[in-house]
Structures are given as structure tokens and as C-alpha cells.
Structure 1
């Protein structure tokens, strides 16, 4: 089949989207991808067999109109015009929409060109907006209503031909909203294996590491409080933070107030290879996300990276993360906002180096939580769609 994926960001790089596209190409499909560009990239390019179509987007449409998309459809018009323009030449059989915002565009364009359409929900979008800072402002609340996004999700999930989510919890949430179970596939955020880290960082003290965005909702403020408690009985440790975000200065101030700033290293954003270099040398990897309707219905692929690298995982009690860590016996779970519990679990990992968490997680990734398993589900989902087209 001839497939047009639609992505609201620059491409490459998006690891999940790339893996899905390459898996479908391997299965015999022709995959195109429509995305915007703010970097003056070429309007058309073939990348690893993916036919990329790009359109420049203004800052106003991207930053302002996208937030108000349900109120003022200028953002939707940008995308519809773009997709109709590409389809004049290519004639697609399937539209594959990545994430909820462009669901309406996918539905309306697919209906017009007589194509099937797939809605690929990487996140619980309304849940994400409920914890996003830009929706907390007066203007943000007016332009981006959570209840409207919830209704929007229900409407377009009901009319999508197929739906993809990243965890069972997300599927269960949609089924509770009345979406037919048979058309929802779980294609998780697992990793491609094998992979090898050529060199690893050598650390002297016991090293905790976090890799990812740094915002309030990543929960690192509770980690710092917990480590200050750890420091009272065990002082030979350090925390390495790989990533950037608007909450960095808050954390630096907090670390100083807790008198542990000499043990916290802020490395900023790092290229993938460098990030893996730091991860490979750590003793314990953290996923401290604040528990919310967003984090209870998605899964970070770094969990599987950590496990494949044979690292014990210390994570907060977000539903999918807790389920997988406990199933795999790959680490310990603490209540996300409980520094005392964090410190207890951290000390347990420090004091019990023969815990087998790393080996357990590594084996589970090899057996179950890897992309070859998800690829089979994705391709079968498209086989079902093809039967309906024929």
C-alpha cells in the first residue's frame, strides 16, 4: 500500500516514527512522510527509503495557531492544504496521523481522497496538556480547553479506521470511552536490538543518572530531596542529569539549598551516542516522572534502554512503568512524591549490588520488550487494513 505518514515536527529525527516507517517498508509498503521544517531543509528527500515531503511553517502558525487549533482552524488549514498538494501527485491509500492534534485533518483529507486513515497516539494528549505550563495561563485556558480535547479525541477515535497506542493502559482508557477494542493495536516504545555502546563513562562514586527533558513534571525535585536523605547515611554518590529544560535553574537552586550541589552534575542536552556513553557507566538509572493522567498512559523508551544496558531502574509509580519494572524484576518503585521512600529504595540498590535487576531487565528486553515484537503487531495491523481496502 501507499502510505502517507503525517508528523508535526522536523524529520529526521524521531526514533519511533522512523522505526514504524522502516518496518512498513520492509513489509512491502511504500511510505511517504509529510512534516514541516523550520531549518530550511529541502522540500523533498528520500531518507532510508522514506519519501519525505516538507513545508516551511511560520512561527505564528506553529506557536500560536497550533495551540488554538480547536478554536481557530488556521493550523488545520495549513496541513490540509499541504496534504492535498502532495496527494495530487502521489495518490495515497492510507493516511497515518502521528498524535492527536491532526486527527481532524486526517479524517477530512482521507474522506476526500477516499483513503483509509490510522491514528497513532503516542501520548494521552489531553493528559499532557493538563500538566503543560502553557495551558495554565489565562490565555492558554481559553485557547486550549482540556474538555474540548477529550471530546475531540473521542470523536476522531470513533471514526478512525485503525488506532495505535503505546501501552495497554492507553488501550484500556480508550475502550472505557467507548472506542471499539478490535481496532486498537498496542505498538510499544521498545528499542531495536542488538546495539552496542563502544565506550562508557568511568565514574568513581555510586552514580545515579537521569536522561531526558528537565521540567517540573519529570519529578527531579523529589529525587533531590530523596538524595539529601541518602546523604545522611551514605555520601559516596553523585547524580548525573543529561538533558535540558526550563526547570534546570530551579533544580540548581534546590541542590544548593539542600547542600548537595557538589554531587549533582548538569550535563545539558547531549547527542544520542554521548548520552548512551554516560548511561553505560552509571550504577542506577532513574525515571522519576510525576504520576498523572499523562504518565499513567504512556511509556518512555529509555526504560528499555536502561534495562538492555543491564542497569537497575529506580522509578516512580506511574502505572505502565510500575507494571513493567515489577514484571521484569528490573528495579524498584517508589511513590513519585515521597522523598523518604525514594531514599529507602535508593539505599537498597546501593547496599545490594548482587540484586540481579540489571540482568533481569536485559533478559526481558531480549525475550519480549524489543522492536521486532512490535513490528509484527504493526505489520499485522496494516494487513488487516489492506484486507478492508481490497
Structure 2
């Protein structure tokens, strides 16, 4: 019996996208033929060998309208050649290629929204661009056969707005054995994009007069500004910029950390309704974390008590770090909560929901 083929479309370079690795592997193990298409960047590392097919487009443009146009044209041509039974669009920036292919080929359309794409901080005061993304979101959501997202808050938002069911597949990691290196320095880890609204500037300022180091793993628009800030405050020896790490290196760095930094400013609905990847990576590392008082984080912390919910101002961040350094009992209580959460919030407990809804999509085929 011929396997149903699912072609997954992303706008990144695939190699560091752990959510899509887990989804691809789960669907492959479930009996589907899986392929994923992304783009190749100048600094992209080599693709890891996987059981499913991986394709990366070499694009002329790297950002802006021409990038999104070129990406979707290349994805569309890829789909026409591949002829999958389902196109799986990840976020609105790959939606048009999947939508038009499915209309022509009469294939299934799956939409996976990792964030409120039209409500990200980068679109603030850019009304025309924001409305274009809103139109694309509406088009893909209204025409999808299956809709997935990463948190209950985002699901409820979209369901209320478009009156279509969204299934929640949380971005939890695979269960990992907690391995440590021989380094025994105490440091705070921040992992993720170096973008507006992540409070990274405040973290760097907060440790200026505290005996603690910071390791920043990631890249983004604020990379140069953050490095300049560290230099200006003369904390270059305390604050280490690691760049974008491969999953194994990132896991090791996180496992050895003392505290995870997971703060956001309330500058967009996308942030307010988010449930970040780093939340679960810190939990798998079994370290406490500083978190924002947004719905998904509050709900999860009420259940497991793994972190401290604080205001995102400089003074509070500094005082809370000092509190955890001085109050070992409190720190250990939070660590116990993180250890408990790490046992339950794993992909092995989440993937069955994905396989069930995708199997149901093809039931009548």
C-alpha cells in the first residue's frame, strides 16, 4: 500500500528547528512519507542525516517582501514536482505556496501556527504589512483541513476570530538524560532569538553589580546592540555571547546553567499568548527560571512551581537574582518543581495527539 506523502514547508534552514525535527520523525514513524523544505543561509551548517527527506532552497533574497515572494514560489514549484497528498505549512510566511498547491492538486492542507504571526512586535506601527499578514492568515486558516498551534491561548484566540478548531501540540522536547560537563561555574542562560521585547538588555544591566555570569545562546536583530551594551557596562567578562548553537551544544550549555531567563515585555499579543520553546528546554535541564506573568506561563507554573513570576523591570530582575543566590531553600524548591515538570512535559507524552489528528485527516483516503 502506497504511503501518504506529507510535504512540510518552513522558512528557516531546518537544522536548528527542533519542533519540526520531532514532528517529522513522529509522522515518519507513524507510516507517512515525510519531506521538509526550508532555505539555506550563508552560515547554515550541514544537514544531519535523517530518515525523512530534507530540501533547502538557495534564495537570492534573505529578507523583506522579495524574500517571502521567492520563498513561496520555490516552495510552490517544489510541491508541484513532489505531488504530496498533504502540504503542511508552518506559519503564515509559507502559507501561500501551500494554499495554491492544495487548490490545484486537491490535496489536504495542514496549517501549524507557532505564534500569532500577524501580532509580532516587529509589525508594530506597520499597518499595511500587518494587514497583509492578517489577510494571509485568514486565507490559510479558513481553507485548511487541519489547524495546529503551540498553546491553548493562541488556539482560543484563533478559534474566536475565525470560528475554526485548532489542536494544541505543545513544543515540548524529547526526554533527555541530564548530562553535565566538567565546568562548574555558576551562570544564567538565555537561549533564543535576540529580538525586541525579550528583556535581554535588562538581564545584562541587572548582573552589572552581581557576582554571576550570563551566557546568551542565539542570534537576532539586537546582537550588535547587546554586545555594545555589555562593552559599555564593562561586563564583557561576565556576559558571553555564544551565537546560534547546534542542539547538542545548546542542551549541554543549558544543562550546566544555574538559572534560566525567560522574560518578555507585554509589547504584542504574540508575546502575551506565547509559550516559548525555552520554557521546556529549561525544564528538561531541571533548572529554575525567571518568567513573565502571561497566561500560559502562569498556568504552567501554578501546576509545577518551577519558577518565579516577576515584573520585567531592571530593579526586580536584579533583586530576584540576588534573592535566589542568597536563599538556597527557595532555589531548591523551584528546582524540585522543574525536575517534576521535566518528567511529564516531554514529546513522548505529546506526540500521540499529533499522530491521531493526522491519521484522522487521511481516514477516508
Q: Which band: TM-score by shorter chain? A: 0.7 to 0.9
Tell me: CA distance 1:109–1:330, structure 2 relative to 1, closer, same or farther (3 Å): same
Cα offset, 1:198, TM superposition: 4.5
Tell me: CA distance 1:13–1:287, structure 2 relative to 1, closer, same or farther (3 Å): closer
Equivalent residues in 2 for 1:283-302, closer than 5 Å: 283-291=258-266, 292-302=268-278
1:110 corresponds to: 102
Instruction: Say yes or no: does 1:21 pair with 2:24.
Output: yes
Query: Of 194, 199, 203, which aligns to 2:176?
Result: 194
2:341 corresponds to: 364
1:378 corresponds to: 354
- Note if contact 1:201-1:277 (Cα within 8 Å) is conserved in structure 2: no
Q: Per-residue displacement from partner, 1:263-305 (whole Å, max 9, x unpaired)?
A: 3333444443333333223221111232322222332222112
* SS at structure 2 position matched to 1:381: helix
- Note if contact 2:15-2:48 (Cα within 8 Å) is conserved in structure 1: no
CA distance in 1, matches of 2:352, 2:227: 44
Tell me: CA distance 1:318–1:257, structure 2 relative to 1, closer, same or farther (3 Å): farther
Instruction: Say yes or no: does 1:63 pair with 2:81.
Output: no
Cα offset, 1:328, TM superposition: 1.6
1:146 corresponds to: 130
- Note if contact 2:37-2:75 (Cα within 8 Å) is conserved in structure 1: no
Query: Of 108, 113, 121, which aligns to 1:121?
Result: 113
Tell me: CA distance 1:357–1:46, structure 2 relative to 1, closer, same or farther (3 Å): closer
Cα offset, 1:149, TM superposition: 1.4
CA distance in 1, matches of 2:282, 2:326: 20
Tell me: CA distance 1:314–1:64, structure 2 relative to 1, closer, same or farther (3 Å): closer
CA distance in 2, matches of 1:248, 1:13: 18
CA distance in 1, matches of 2:167, 2:161: 16
2:14 corresponds to: 11
Which of these two proteins has the greater Rg computed from alpha carbons?
A: 1
Name the Cα RMSD after superposition.
Answer: 2.8
Tell me: CA distance 1:99–1:237, structure 2 relative to 1, closer, same or farther (3 Å): same
- Note if contact 2:180-2:256 (Cα within 8 Å) is conserved in structure 1: no
Cα offset, 1:327, TM superposition: 2.6
Query: Of 16, 23, 30, which aligns to 2:33?
Result: 30
* SS at structure 2 position matched to 1:216: coil
- Note if contact 1:40-1:56 (Cα within 8 Å) is conserved in structure 2: no
Gaps of 5+ in 1: none
Query: Of 139, 154, 157, which aligns to 1:155?
Result: 139
Cα offset, 1:216, TM superposition: 3.2
Moved over 6 A (4+): none
